[in-house]
Structure 1
Amino acid sequence: MDPAQFGLSTLSLQHAPYGPISVEKLQGANAGKVALITGAGQGIGAAISESLAKSGANVAILDLKLGNLENTKKACLSQNVKVEAFECDVTDDAKVKEVFDQVEKQLGPIDVLVNNAGILDQRPFIMSTFPAFWRQIEVNFKAPLMLIHNILPKMRSRGHGCIINIASRSGTVDVPMTLGYVTSKAALIRATHTLQKEMKLDGMDPAIHMYALHPGGVLTGMGGAGAAPDVRSKYGDITDEEFYKDLFKDAPVLCGQTCAFLASGKGKELRGLFIDCRQDVGKLLDIGRETLLKENRNTLTVNFIEGYTNEP
């Protein structure tokens, strides 16, 4: 993959919490709300959980193993909010329903859903087993949509809710050896766009607001692991990994505070869009929703050659 596919920003990118998404600005912004975060055991998910707790939300944190959540739970409890931890495979529909019921009994109705859990198997499609490839689709795409399908009726009946899908810039470019990941993230971005339009059809826009969010360049265990030895022996090192590591300069808290900002409703004008959390939300809001939509900004699109669009 050529990193130039991502383009080079001429505006300064943010690499740490700033202005409108700072802890101070969001103090109490989500007070009394209940937020559920998947993949909350470490990294980005842990940061999202803590940021939501800092903004006043009571949090339900999920991960594959309960033991993975000890540190996250401790950090959230230090913010004097209610915290409940759940062991959950988010691809298991029955278990998800069970956890949702437990959350409602212990914390109350869920106001904010953050679909963060994700996996990456970095290898060419032909060198992967199909079940290993498809598992990425199940975790990264099927699971978020399944959770949304479970929570939307309840959000609709209460007349409000926020859903944040942790996506990736990888869903907007072609990256060899990551077919399952890029495909699932592109699908998640498209689903976010489309579901927000469905909220409008049902008169629930902007009361229910959704976002697809790129968490920034966060060097997690998933993103920094590199290709397996068998892949390297066949293809060599097809990327300059040291260069890529230089792109991963963002702390997870940047994404965490962006989620707290969006959950608060302060960014509702950006609902249904794909947001890169390194880009100043203030600048996007200043441009305005009408212009962003008219110019097809922050949305997946295809640029045909000049003159070719649809029939008149």
Structure 2
Amino acid sequence: MDPNEFGTSTIPLQHAPYGPITAEALQNKNAGKIAVVTGAGQGIGAAIAEALIKSGATVAILDLSVEKQQKTQEACESYGGKVKAYACDVSNQDAVVTTFDEIEKDLGTIDILVNNAGILVQRPLIMSDFDTFWKQIEVNFKGPLLSIHTLLPRMRDRGHGCIINIASRSATVDVPMTLGYVTSKAALTRATHTLQREMALDGLDPAIHLYALHPGGVLTGMGASGAPKDVQEKYGNPKDEEYFKGLFKDPPILCGQTCAWLATGEGKDLRGLYIGKKYLLSWWCSSS
């Protein structure tokens, strides 16, 4: 592992929920709130949904199909919370508006939005079908913006809300063969800060608070799939799953519990920022 490529931390990193983001510390702190989590069928999205349920929220989970979310729904229900699954393509405006309307009819007004849905195609641009490349921008950047564009006016009218955009370390580094992913995550990160400043223009800062959250080094199916065979034949695949396991040390629940904590509003000093577990831990230690 080259430390110059991905950097190293000057403080010990936590790889499990700690301090204010444990389930015990957050018990009932989101009670009475309605949350939406996109890309909730597995991995990080499922963990976010479970953490919000454990903190007392009612949760709407979204993915391309309801069936894909069965395990997530069952896990959430095992904690005694209320959860409902919806099928939604987050890159389709009509689908997003219709789904959000349905959620508010079924569950109530939405207080928390977590934009987690994302896709990654490991292929250099020169070997890519452009539509396939662009679909990453559609899901990873257009999708969150459609959800925000749909929900933000409703939050404005109610005078409160929390929006968490799941970003990535990829927003800050150059990783060949992931152009669609890194650029979409970089755009989402900048959009988060800009939208927070727009809230200030309307006198809604910090009542409406937004975050771009780096979820940690979580080894998901998306990140561990490797490059397609034709790409490996041309370029090799030095950054394969084994290479990245040195970075992927975090369970999904670390991100899930962080989202549940941000949703409480206790971390509003971090609003508008790109934050990760190292920065959050440093902030918590300095403010404790």
Q: Structure 1 length normalisation: TM-score?
A: 0.89
Amino acid at match of 2:47: A
Partner of 1:175: 175
- Asked whether the equivalents of residues 224 and 240 of structure 2 are also in contact (C-alpha less than 8 Å), the reply is no
Partner of 2:163: 163
Q: How does 1:167-246 map to 2 (within 5 A)?
A: 167-239=167-239, 241-246=241-246
Deviation at 1:94, TM superposition (A): 0.7
Unaligned runs of 5+ in 1: 289-312
Equivalent position SS for 2:205: coil
Deviation at 1:282, TM superposition (A): 4.7
Please say which of residues 95-104 and 183-192 is displaced more in the overlay: 95-104
Aligned residues: 287
Equivalent position SS for 2:212: strand
Q: How does 1:251-270 map to 2 (within 5 A)?
A: 251-270=251-270
- Asked whether the equivalents of residues 225 and 241 of structure 2 are also in contact (C-alpha less than 8 Å), the reply is no
Unaligned runs of 5+ in 2: none
- Asked whether the equivalents of residues 13 and 280 of structure 1 are also in contact (C-alpha less than 8 Å), the reply is no
Equivalent position SS for 1:24: helix
Q: Relative to structure 1, is the Cα distance of residues 32 and 160 closer, same or farther in structure 2, using a 3 angstrom cutoff?
A: same
Deviation at 1:2, TM superposition (A): 5.3
Divergent runs of 4+, >6 A? none
> Counterparts of 1:86 and 1:116 in 2: how far apart (Å)?
15
> Counterparts of 2:60 and 2:204 in 1: how far apart (Å)?
25
**Bigger Rg over Cα:** 1
Partner of 2:38: 38
Identity %: 67
> Counterparts of 2:274 and 2:88 in 1: how far apart (Å)?
27
Q: Relative to structure 1, is the Cα distance of residues 241 and 162 closer, same or farther in structure 2, using a 3 angstrom cutoff?
A: same
Amino acid at match of 2:186: A
Please say which of residues 5-14 and 102-111 is displaced more in the overlay: 5-14
> Counterparts of 2:209 and 2:228 in 1: how far apart (Å)?
39
Deviation at 1:249, TM superposition (A): 1.1
Partner of 2:280: 281
> Counterparts of 1:32 and 1:282 in 2: how far apart (Å)?
28
Deviation at 1:82, TM superposition (A): 1.6
- Asked whether the equivalents of residues 16 and 254 of structure 2 are also in contact (C-alpha less than 8 Å), the reply is yes
> Counterparts of 1:43 and 1:161 in 2: how far apart (Å)?
25
CA root-mean-square deviation: 1.4
